[in-house]
């Protein structure tokens, strides 16, 4: 893929989200902030899939929601197709939402239990003024068939479906308004492995068919490897390494990425390999470590890591790492 070819479809610059913590009931004061996302930048080319991986609580989902402006960022800019989404008036943003969609993690919580499947999946269309009628019903049935369900499912309620089927309904809803960009927020994490494979394949087929661009958020590196073109690794609100899939999985440079990759189970019981096991827990994002945020758990940490935050530097074309121990060239 030629990187310099065109303007990226999505460009995130210096994205920051701090959730303030208040104390006291009547006269509350701000006592701190959860630094969920801190200075995150990346870009996604049209038609590409960027995998975003990291441990629980590292800010992956928050990043996804910030991009869709479901929560307001503390700082930073999000440019979609050259338009700064933050600068849009609420109404203009609402109209932009046709192009940007999201698939949620929880197939049980993401469908309104009081609505029929056909009303759920055509809601994005009804919102933008399409009138209920035979055309809309037909569209609902087509969408259901596109995601591998049957058209006679349209009249049913969400509780009549299994988790995997519900996730397909969620995908059908995300496709309804012909979006160009979809955030898959742990879209397969809640599913059984066999169903995961089906849904991941479905997402890939849909990408080819409708020329979609994905931000694929997950904590399962195997799934990310399968679907992504490029992968960004997040740790405690920061992106520590970005590279195209092949490079990242073959030659991870950041110690955290190395640790993550060595944790992927290998389906060979007798295989021996060097496991890199991290000690301790993820530090609290309320009071993140100074310098490199990973230094408290990094087996190679040096003095400089404790004091100075490493900048993200390009090691090779498209391969960026934020680590003092990795030198350019």
Strands 100-103 and 181-185: parallel
The residue (of 65 and 297) whose beta carbon lies closer to other proteins is: 65
The residue (of 107 and 310) whose beta carbon lies closer to other proteins is: 107
The residue (of 84 and 145) whose beta carbon lies closer to other proteins is: 145
The residue (of 61 and 228) whose beta carbon lies closer to other proteins is: 61
Q: Least CB distance from residue 202 to other proteins, whole Å?
A: 6
Q: Least CB distance from residue 199 to other proteins, whole Å?
A: 9
Q: Least CB distance from residue 174 to other proteins, whole Å?
A: 9
The site for other proteins (CB under 8 A) is made up of: 65, 68, 70, 94-95, 97-98, 100-102, 104-106, 109-115, 123-124, 127-128, 142-143, 145-150, 152-153, 155-156, 165, 168, 170, 173, 177, 198, 201-202, 205-206, 209
Q: Least CB distance from residue 182 to other proteins, whole Å?
A: 10
The residue (of 109 and 299) whose beta carbon lies closer to other proteins is: 109
Q: Least CB distance from residue 153 to other proteins, whole Å?
A: 7
Q: Least CB distance from residue 159 to other proteins, whole Å?
A: 10
The residue (of 65 and 295) whose beta carbon lies closer to other proteins is: 65
Long-range contacts of 17-26 (CB under 8 A, 24+ apart): 17/59, 17/62, 17/66, 17/71, 17/73, 17/74, 18/74, 21/286
């Amino acid at each position: 893929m030629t990187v310099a070819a065109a303007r990226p479809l999505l460009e995130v610059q210096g994205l920051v989200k701090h959730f303030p913590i208040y104390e006291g009931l009547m006269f509350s004061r701000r006592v701190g902030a959860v630094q969920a996302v801190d200075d995150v930048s990346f870009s996604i080319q049209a038609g590409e899939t960027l995998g975003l991986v990291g441990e629980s609580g590292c800010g992956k989902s928050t990043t996804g929601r910030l991009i869709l402006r479901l929560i307001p960022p503390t700082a930073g800019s999000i440019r979609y197709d050259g338009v700064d989404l933050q600068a849009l008036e609420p109404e203009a943003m609402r109209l932009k939402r046709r192009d940007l969609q999201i698939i949620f993690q929880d197939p049980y919580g993401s469908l309104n239990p009081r609505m029929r499947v056909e009303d759920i999946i055509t809601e994005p269309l009804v919102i933008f003024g399409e009138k209920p009628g035979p055309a809309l019903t037909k569209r609902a049935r087509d969408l259901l068939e596109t995601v591998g369900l049957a058209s006679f499912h349209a009249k049913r309620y969400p509780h009549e479906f299994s988790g995997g089927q519900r996730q397909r309904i969620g995908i059908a809803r995300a496709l309804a308004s012909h979006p160009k960009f979809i955030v898959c927020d742990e879209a397969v994490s809640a599913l059984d492995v066999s169903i995961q494979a089906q849904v991941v394949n479905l997402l890939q087929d849909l990408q080819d068919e409708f020329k979609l661009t994905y931000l694929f958020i997950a904590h399962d590196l195997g799934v990310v490897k399968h679907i992504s073109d490029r992968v960004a690794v997040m740790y405690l609100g920061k992106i520590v390494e970005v590279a195209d899939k092949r490079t990242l999985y073959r030659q991870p440079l950041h110690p955290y990425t190395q640790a993550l990759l060595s944790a992927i189970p290998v389906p060979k019981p007798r295989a021996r390999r060097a496991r890199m096991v991290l000690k301790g827990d993820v530090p609290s994002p309320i009071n993140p470590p100074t310098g490199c945020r990973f230094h408290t758990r990094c087996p190679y940490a040096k003095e400089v890591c404790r004091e100075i935050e490493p900048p993200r530097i390009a090691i090779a074309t498209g391969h960026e790492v934020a680590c003092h121990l990795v030198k350019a060239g």
